Amino acid sequence: MSEREYRQASAARGGLLFMHNVPGVALGDRVQIQDHAGRIRNGQVIRSSQEAVLIQVFEGTENLDLERTWVRFLEQPFELALSPEILGRVFNGVGLPRDERPPLISSLKRNVNGAPVNPAARAYPREFVQTGISAIDGLDSLVRGQKLPIFSGSGLPHNRLAAQIVRQAKLPNEEGGFAVVFAAMGVSHTDARMFQEDFESSGVLSKVVMFLNLADDPAIERLILPRAALTAAEYLAFDLDMHVLVIMTDMTHYAEALREVATAKGDVPSRKGYPGYLYSDLAELYERAGRIKGRHGSITLIPVVSMPSDDITHPIPDLTGYITEGQIVLSRDLYNQGVYPPMAVPPSLSRLMKDGVGKEYTRDDHARVANQLYASYARALEVRNLASIIGAEELGEADLAFLKFAENFERNFLGQGEREERSILDTLDLAWRQLSLLPRDALTRVSEADLDKYHTPAARQA
């Protein structure tokens, strides 16, 4: 069937366009809509029957008049043109240039929805990525091919942390860093400029593809943007053999756009008005990260989720946490105390760390040290809690040591400069300096051999 053009839209609301008597339209097909002012909008068929067709319009349905709107069915799915020239370019959500350069011409086009990776084709991610950030490298290591989100709150430095990871991430013993796919959904102009300048100043711009939808851009475009971005990432990773780092910020804006359309469609809401399929929808995005057998490249995914009212049980962070391989949670308390990066240690986790650290990748004691830091810090937080009730002067000597440990751990281990890069060995040595503030008997998560080798109680913090 060839392209067809119609003019009888029967309703337009909430980003959806309803058409009647357009037979035989395929689900998922791309649509172009020309409004009375001649402006072209992009859409996609999301429901189709002999009688009626429902179209989701990425630029929204504001300012549409039903009588003078032309709808063209392109008889093709939503595809993204791909070539090595995408590097260094800036696109919008539907893959059109935003950098005043001509559109990409290529015969290679891929459906932005992708196709599910066969679990039998996946390779297990195990290579330790050094971000140079002690909190992450030491406690919740990132592994190449992992999906590790940053859970944050409004006003917290999640974007600065993401930018620092982009600047510093590398494999300890490997040349060449990551290519970067940057997907911005509903971010402010300021944040977008911060990233852009950061990419420029660190000289990675020629290895970055940006997909931008800013805070004042149409919200529904955010639904297709991460799909386009991940299609580009898959191309770079699995066709061009590159290691790709994908930053997606902010997933909360994505989910809100999804809710907006779901509500307009009349889908049954589950929690907080989000549709029941939010989990599957997010999984379709996040699961595109990973490694594939026999392919050199990889996709490491760092989505940023700003938790509404800092609530980690809100559906967006909650469902994200069920899909991703851990999470880095930022803490407002630590941030207010001037600790950067303000990583909340107890709820943060890296599920793939267990296979990516140790003798082969970092150092033999790494996993045990991380475990010990977690346990000791958890104990220290209990003591701090107690001290706030009964007063620190009432504490015993052992408890006081924990208080001191917590203080030093937060300042010197978690805290570091935004431009400071620490090697993993420096991070581990730093970790032992903190643990040495505690008596040997209090450290039961590390081995006796570790203690003999690294525990030096004489060490005093500056």
Partner 1 sequence: MGEILEINGPIVRVRLPQVLTGEQVRVGELKLTGEVIGREGDDAIVQVYEVSDGLRPGDPVEPMGHPLSVELGPGLLGQIFDGVQRPLYTLYEMSGDHIARGLAVDSLKRDKAWPFEPNAALATGTTILPGSVLGTVQETAHILHHILVPPDTGGTLLELAPAGDYTLEQPIAHIQDAHGHTRKLKLYQRWPVRTPRPYLQRDHASAPLITGQRVLDTFFPLLKGGKAAVPGPFGAGKTVVQHQIARWSNAEIVVFVGCGERGNELVDILDSFPKLTDPHSGRSLMERTVLVANTSNMPVVAREASIYVGVTLAEYFRDQGYDVVMVADSTSRWAEALREVSGRLGQMPVEEGYPAYLGSRLAAFYERAGRVKTLSGKLGSVTLIGAVSPPGGDFSEPVTSHTKEIVQTFWALSKELADARHYPSVDWTESFSGYVGTAATWWTENVDAQWEGLRGIALGLLTQAEELARIVNLVGPEALSPAQRWALEGATLIKEGILQQSALDEIDSYCSPQKQYALLQLLLLIYAQGQKLLLLGVPVQRLLSLPLLARARRYKTLHGNDDLARLNANTLEIQVAFDALRNEYANSGETKK
Residue 391, both tokens:
């007063």
Q: In terms of residues, how long is the chain?
A: 462
β-bridge pairing 243-249 and 298-306: parallel
Among 245, 349, 369, 401, binds partner 1 (CB under 8 A): 349
- Report the distance separating Cα 229 and Cα 249, nearest Å: 12
Residues 3-42: x/- map of binding to partner 1 (CB under 8 A)? --------------------xxxxxxx-------------
- Report the distance separating Cα 196 and Cα 338, nearest Å: 26
Stretch that binds partner 1, among 31-39, 220-228, 349-357, 415-423 (CB under 8 A): 349-357
Among 166, 304, 307, 352, binds partner 1 (CB under 8 A): 352
Among 15, 16, 48, 60, binds partner 1 (CB under 8 A): 48
- Report the distance separating Cα 254 and Cα 226, nearest Å: 9
Residues 287-306 that bind partner 1 (CB under 8 A): 287-288, 290, 292-293, 295
Based on CB atoms, which residue is closest to partner 1, 104 or 386?
Answer: 386
- Report the distance separating Cα 425 and Cα 132, nearest Å: 10
Residues 422-451 that bind partner 1 (CB under 8 A): 441, 444-445
Query: If binding means CB under 8 A, how many residues of this protein chain bind partner 1?
Result: 79
Among 6, 90, 374, 412, binds partner 1 (CB under 8 A): 374
Beta bridge partners, 274, equal none
Contact between 367 and partner 1 per CB under 8 A: yes
Mind giving me the DSSP string for 192-234? HHHHHHHHHHTT-GGGEEEEEEETTS-GGGGGTHHHHHHHHHH
- For the chain, what is the radius of gyration of the CA atoms? 25
Among 134, 327, 427, 434, binds partner 1 (CB under 8 A): 327
Based on CB atoms, which residue is closest to partner 1, 210 or 307?
Answer: 307
Q: Torsion over CA of 20, 25, 28 and 32, rounded to 10 degrees? A: -70
Based on CB atoms, which residue is closest to partner 1, 198 or 287?
Answer: 287
Shortest Å distance, C-beta 274 to partner 1: 10
Mind giving me the DSSP string for 305-323? EEPGGG-TTSHHHHHHHHH
Q: How many CA atoms lie within 13 A of 87 on its CB side?
A: 14
Stretch that binds partner 1, among 197-205, 223-231, 348-356, 411-419 (CB under 8 A): 348-356
Q: String of b and e for 272-311 (b: at least 16 CB within 10 Å)?
A: eebbeebbebbbbbbbbbbbbeeeebbbbbbbbbbbbebe
Based on CB atoms, which residue is closest to partner 1, 195 or 238?
Answer: 238
Shortest Å distance, C-beta 293 to partner 1: 8
Stretch that binds partner 1, among 2-10, 211-219, 285-293, 422-430 (CB under 8 A): 285-293
Say how many Å lie between the first and final Cα of the chain, rounded.
Answer: 75
Among 88, 172, 269, 308, binds partner 1 (CB under 8 A): 269
Among 137, 191, 325, 365, binds partner 1 (CB under 8 A): 325
Residues 202-241 that bind partner 1 (CB under 8 A): 238
Residues 94-133 that bind partner 1 (CB under 8 A): 111, 113-125
Among 326, 341, 342, 415, binds partner 1 (CB under 8 A): 326
Residues 396-425 that bind partner 1 (CB under 8 A): 396
Residues 128-167 that bind partner 1 (CB under 8 A): none
Output the CA–CA distances (angstroms, integers) from residue 367 to 137, 424, 447, in the order listed. Answer: 11, 12, 11
CB atoms within 10 A of CB 426: 14
DSSP run (H or E) holding 72 = strand 70-77
Among 79, 239, 284, 364, binds partner 1 (CB under 8 A): 284
Shortest Å distance, C-beta 378 to partner 1: 4
Shortest Å distance, C-beta 83 to partner 1: 20
Contact between 49 and partner 1 per CB under 8 A: yes
Based on CB atoms, which residue is closest to partner 1, 105 or 389?
Answer: 389
